[in-house]
Structure 1
Amino acid sequence: MGYVTTADGVQIFYKDWGPKEAQPIVFHHGWPLSSDDWDAQMLFLVNKGYRVVAHDRRGHGRSSQVSDGHDMDHYAADAAAVAEHLNLRNAVHIGHSTGGGEAARYVARHGKGRVAKAVLMSAVPPIMVRSATNPGGTPIEVFDGLRAALAANRSQFFLDVASGPFYGFNRPGAKVSQGMIQNWWRQGMMGSAKAHYEGIKAFSETDQTEDLKLIDVPTLVMHGDDDQVVPIDAAARLSIKLLKNGKLKLYPGFPHGMLTAHADVINADLLAFIKE
């Protein structure tokens, strides 16, 4: 556990567990959470002998609540600062949701010679928002609604997201976990409202088509087909067509937060891919 200072003076919190000589597995968390969202994966893989590293994005978790830089370029540069500080090489970078966009931009622009493999899980690339060139995307009005809800009552908004679509708890017959809901809310409320507000634009409007085309390491794309947050047809099914060396794994009935809701399945598949 420690901090690294970025080129623009931001303090980025990170965890670094396991043997320093082991292969590093680097995790990139989703919006509006923190590195704590990867607890199940980090504990599982550190106990398999890997070095596991995760940081809190700027404005999230325990990192600095700075005013600026809440965009995919800064997210990736901050991840690069952590990787360089810890001299991480032959690393597997795993990103969930917004963290999938961060991981994709990091690998494409900063990862040359440092990255062995990548995993994009329930990830936002290539681009979420609907446009003339992306007719299957989500209308901008949906993201405007997220911003309005966050600005009006962030605490209630975060409870509603975690209690409903994020884990699929709004589906008939779903087994609801209050612990998951409270932990999601806890992580979100640790961060900055401004970072979360501006992060909505970053995860929804950043076109990462070229990032995906530049990635040449083996890349596993994992997505649940009941993802109500990042719909599979506009994300994973498009991303796999752009990757040079990609493999798509679909999960019937799994929600957006499948890394927590179905950690046993996800962990086994991550380990298998890392070992390939």
Structure 2
Amino acid sequence: MPFVTTGDGAEIFYKDWGSGRPVMFHHGWPLSSDDWDAQLLFLLPRGYRVIAHDRRGHGRSVPVGHGHDMDHYAADAAAVVTHLDLRDVVHVGHCAGAGEVARYVVRHGAGRVAKAVLIAAALPLMVQTEANPHGLPAEVFDGFREGVATDRSQFYLDLAAGPFHGFNRPGAHASQGVIWNWWRMGMAGSAQAHHAGIRALSETDFTDDLKAIDVPTLLLHGDDDQIVPLADSAARAVTLLKDADLKVYPGASHGLCTVNADTLNADLLDFISS
């Protein structure tokens, strides 16, 4: 399997399929590059080179016990980009992966980035503080940590079968395949990495990153996102970006890359091809 070794010794797994203009995908917590299958297999036959990596401690990447913060996540993405010598890249991130994209573009992307897509993005800052009253209470993220630490398997199953995909809404048609695939990706990663990554997801302030991004950016978000509420995230983030558009999907959940793949893929293609 293809791996790149970072400067601090982390071994990062990546997929690199096809040829043409490169589009690189950054997955959300606590998943892996497999969460992008619907997008990779949509763009591949349309002439794009698609790249997706497993964040350190996630998926098939080596479960190192250090570096579970956004600075290291962005540097790991940069190691993949440098290793493959990618240029004119469209970077697409979901949830925590959107934060990774923002940090990467600002810290490492000079001369290599064409556009950015931030999907159900956990930014500018998720946790509620005195300076950020719009955020989610710290107790929400404490509950995530407790779930990972005490019964990760059941916690992930409950997330996938409920709020992540909106399967807990009245009239929702839950897909057992989607639920178990999400659970499979989550359980493949390191519990320690996932536990530590909750802080990176919730406490990293991307305000300055968003203000510094100078490439066209598209934000995609569901207005029934129970994990990263629209009003606390994309609706605020779009006001900080220099060149950005926000598209809201009525009734869509946090898992819109899977549940709403057909619509999202068409919007993604339209943006990256223009």
User: What TM-score comes out, normalization by structure 2 length?
Assistant: 0.99
Structure-to-structure mapping, 1:48-197, within 5 angstroms: 48-197=46-195
* Equivalent of 1:255 in 224, 249, 253: 253
Q: Distance in 2 between matches of 1:272 and 1:141?
A: 39
Q: Deviations over 1:6-34 (max 9, x none)?
A: 00011000000002xx1100000000000
Secondary structure of the 2:110 match is coil
Q: Distance in 2 between matches of 1:121 and 1:244?
A: 17
What residue identity is the alignment partner of 1:204? Answer: S
Aligned residues: 274
Secondary structure of the 2:31 match is coil
Corresponding residue of 1:4: 4
Runs of 5+ consecutive residues of structure 1 not aligned to the other structure: none
Q: Distance in 2 between matches of 1:4 and 1:98?
A: 21
Runs of 5+ consecutive residues of structure 2 not aligned to the other structure: none
Corresponding residue of 1:15: 15
Corresponding residue of 1:212: 210
User: What TM-score comes out, normalization by structure 1 length?
Assistant: 0.99
Secondary structure of the 1:221 match is strand
Corresponding residue of 1:30: 28
Q: Which runs of 4 or more aligned residues in structure 1 lie more than 6 Å from their structure 2 counterparts after TM superposition? A: none
Q: Aligned Cα RMSD in Å? A: 0.6
Corresponding residue of 1:237: 235
Q: Distance in 2 between matches of 1:145 and 1:264?
A: 33
- Residue 136 of structure 1 deviates from its aligned partner by 1.2
What residue identity is the alignment partner of 1:106? Answer: Y
Q: Distance in 2 between matches of 1:201 and 1:154?
A: 17
Secondary structure of the 1:95 match is strand
Q: Distance in 2 between matches of 1:153 and 1:275?
A: 43
Q: Distance in 1 between matches of 2:123 and 2:146?
A: 24
What is the percentage of aligned positions where both structures have the same residue? 66
Q: Deviations over 1:144-200 (max 9, x none)?
A: 111111111000000000000000000000000000000000000000000000111
